[in-house]
Structure 1
């Protein structure tokens, strides 16, 4: 029986696991979280479930159906709290090195998996552009705020500003409202003209996204009901406070996202949630040697196969298009990885859904994609890398002194991107500031997550060891 390993238990991973087992494979489903659902279906633990969980999630019944089917199937092994810390290619195959247990715990169990096929469904995380004061407590990525709201029913503040770009801002505002927070405003960087051009070009193609329109209408109705203003063409360009966010500066933006002088105003808030799109989690794909597209997503064919034999990819690492797209891509990838027939009616329907989803993703990028004028709201004392407290002025100084615009060189000299998050938060920003677009850039990390030296030392002698000498040092 063919063994398929799926990494990631969000919509794409769950769909891939179900499709693979239905095609006759044995499936191991790994996820770093303590349960199924990923970021999209993040929910309270089974020990303290919500009475009306379905109210907080779209397509909740789909999640319940997928989760129940996988847990009950004898050919599926679900491994939660599983950190894949490296991927190696022995003899052209794939080996996943995994630690199972609490991320900060000791004595985690070590696994080494060498599957016949691998499906990567590792998802994405927020991209947050820096601004003066974003290092203050009370500044959150929108994804973190939603995770706390969904997974813990915790509001990040009493008066919260939501800002950035993209449709994700609306469900984040909704999650905050459901925790009892007051959302002062939702500030979308894209101007009305840009949004209209992105969304209304070839409007007949939107017929396949009718469900998305329903979701959007629901969010808009909720904002109206709570009297939350939605303000296009605006951004939070600074946060202020003495040890904690107390207010933010909001400014109008031009088409390039540069602040328009004289439009600044201060808004009182004790928290601000910011998201300027998403960055795919590419570490495992890069370690496997998968080719990337010019926009830095994993390149796949119609069967979701990557450029590496035996490796498939699905979900947001192939393009940001939402949960429906991830479910469809996962179905195609799981079927193909298991050696199943991709010409069945179900697989063909999923393939058509993938095509529609990719067109939808292109609209999102056209309407909400980051414009270069944001750099003008930085000051020399603006922190660019929060882990190492490296400022924009320091990065500029390094470039002037060395004459180098190469990300690795500037990182080693300025220390931007060398902290605990290993450039996950600041990497794309640093590349954009430097104009360095040569892949794989900041995504090449021999160790995907920080690993305790004690964990490495306790591995059995037959277990592969990493080639890097310091698990938390420079891994690019």
Structure 2
């Protein structure tokens, strides 16, 4: 009997869990990750040998156990430095184009995979709202600061301000302190009222996340010991400096995140780490024609199946819920992708954990989700697209000139989002500033595709030599 083949893209918490569940259900599994090691953003560079690794990574023992099982399983083929650069829809599934080898190398190995089932676990990246001066050296995403702290034990600066929204700011500040940086302050844009509404409603619903209290207490205790101020309802609204960041302007914001006039103050700093939540990596999901929700996440059913036949999704692709939610979703997705038994007790337990985590994700968005008033801190000369150096004034003028909020027209007129990052950083911001409806689903392949910033026939930059060396299609 031929075993079912499952490809899992992404080896973070969701992908590792999916691969293990699919192999357990009897499938032949290929696990791909673009990095040179597994762990994803959450367990970034977690295979780096160090006696105190657990101090930098929550759930360290969970990761090591999962990694070891997946790496040694006879039915799992693990490929790192394996970049999926294109996904093609077939009548009966999908075809993946993969390049294996260092991202900056020539002559990488070509793979073409046509699995029975595909699990997408591609994760998310920081979303940073623009503000005057955010292009200066010394302004980084909170994720970048966290990555340097975890991977290299390097701080992004000596005097650091952490700002944005969401619980992620706390571990970032903690990691910076462990590297020896002086964290001056943490500024959370959500107001006390927003936090009360998001986290305080229906307190019984928080019982499923009670174990996170200890984690939160650890962060709060670390900040308190280092006398780091944690300020609610405040945002960094500008950065200034000669060649790099030298100071930032902090202001109180109202419930819609609009700056409150007269509350501005200046803080001397040589680095500022900013994160306003996360944006899912949707390129492969969009290419597969998965339905996307209005808030830009992949829509899935109870088995983590998407609207695209033979495609499942798990982790931050389906909603920002943290590593534990991703582990549970990955197990459910991998099990169903492998056509595992419907009455399997392990998948039932994972489904219950996933459902409990869904409440946490909803509260997270209600408490810390981006509010529309942030656009009030932009000036006309504030860069929105850093790749093409398009400022807010130019973007608004382009929208006025086209006479519509059509995202494609605005991008072609202004060049916003057409640079090297292909709108990964500015795409959602551009859409929001011009009022474009970028939240529509890809729909049927026969329809005109909407101008969503995540629609990219080539998922990542590919060398012309690699394209020229493509093998003939097996069909």
TM-score normalised by length of structure 1:
0.95
Tell me the CA shift for residue 113 of structure 1.
0.5
Contact 1:249–1:265 under 8 Å retained in 2:
yes
Instruction: Please list, as runs of the form range in 1=range in 2, the aligned pairs for 1:220-259 lying within 5 A after superposition.
Output: 220-259=220-259
Match of 2:313 in 1: 313
Q: Distance in 1 between matches of 2:68 and 2:227?
A: 39
Q: Distance in 1 between matches of 2:153 and 2:423?
A: 29
Tell me the CA shift for residue 178 of structure 1.
1.2
Tell me the CA shift for residue 460 of structure 1.
2.1
Q: Distance in 1 between matches of 2:262 and 2:270?
A: 24
Tell me the CA shift for residue 242 of structure 1.
0.7
Q: Distance in 2 between matches of 1:254 and 1:321?
A: 26
For the structure 1 residues 44 and 118, does the alpha-carbon distance in structure 2 shift closer, same or farther, using more than 3 Å as the test? closer
Tell me the CA shift for residue 213 of structure 1.
1.6
Match of 2:459 in 1: 448
Match of 1:138 in 2: 138
Contact 1:162–1:169 under 8 Å retained in 2:
yes
Q: Secondary structure at the match of 1:349?
A: helix
Q: Secondary structure at the match of 1:94?
A: strand
Match of 1:2 in 2: 4
Contact 1:176–1:183 under 8 Å retained in 2:
yes
Contact 2:93–2:117 under 8 Å retained in 1:
no
Which 5+ residue runs of structure 2 have no aligned equivalent? Answer: 443-451
Q: How many residues align?
A: 462
Match of 2:22 in 1: 20
Contact 2:38–2:45 under 8 Å retained in 1:
no
Match of 1:354 in 2: 354
Q: Distance in 2 between matches of 1:304 and 1:401?
A: 43
Match of 1:459 in 2: 470
Contact 2:46–2:57 under 8 Å retained in 1:
no
Q: Secondary structure at the match of 2:74?
A: coil
1:377-429 CA deviation, whole Å, 9 max, x = no partner? 00000000011110000001111222121111111110100011100000010
Instruction: Please list, as runs of the form range in 1=range in 2, the aligned pairs for 1:312-461 lying within 5 A after superposition.
Output: 312-438=312-438, 439=440, 440=442, 441-461=452-472
Match of 1:286 in 2: 286
Tell me the CA shift for residue 44 of structure 1.
5.6
Q: Distance in 2 between matches of 1:256 and 1:462?
A: 52
Which 5+ residue runs of structure 1 have no aligned equivalent? Answer: 465-476
Match of 1:31 in 2: 33
Q: Distance in 2 between matches of 1:348 and 1:434?
A: 44
Q: Distance in 2 between matches of 1:372 and 1:184?
A: 27
Contact 2:116–2:310 under 8 Å retained in 1:
yes
Q: Secondary structure at the match of 2:301?
A: coil
Contact 1:332–1:342 under 8 Å retained in 2:
no
Q: Distance in 2 between matches of 1:79 and 1:463?
A: 21
Match of 2:445 in 1: none
Match of 1:470 in 2: none
Match of 2:179 in 1: 179
1:215-263 CA deviation, whole Å, 9 max, x = no partner? 1111111110111110000000000001101110000001110001110
Q: Secondary structure at the match of 2:460?
A: coil
Match of 2:44 in 1: 42
Q: Distance in 2 between matches of 1:286 and 1:92?
A: 17
Instruction: Between 84-93 and 9-18, report the one with greater CA deviation.
Output: 84-93
Q: Distance in 1 between matches of 2:378 and 2:92?
A: 46
Q: Secondary structure at the match of 1:442?
A: coil
Match of 2:204 in 1: 204
Q: Distance in 2 between matches of 1:106 and 1:159?
A: 40
Instruction: Between 111-120 and 440-449, report the one with greater CA deviation.
Output: 440-449
1:156-208 CA deviation, whole Å, 9 max, x = no partner? 11111110000111111111111111111110000111111110100001000
Contact 1:44–1:152 under 8 Å retained in 2:
no
CA RMSD of aligned residues (A): 1.1
Structure 1 residue runs of 4+, over 3 Å off? 461-464
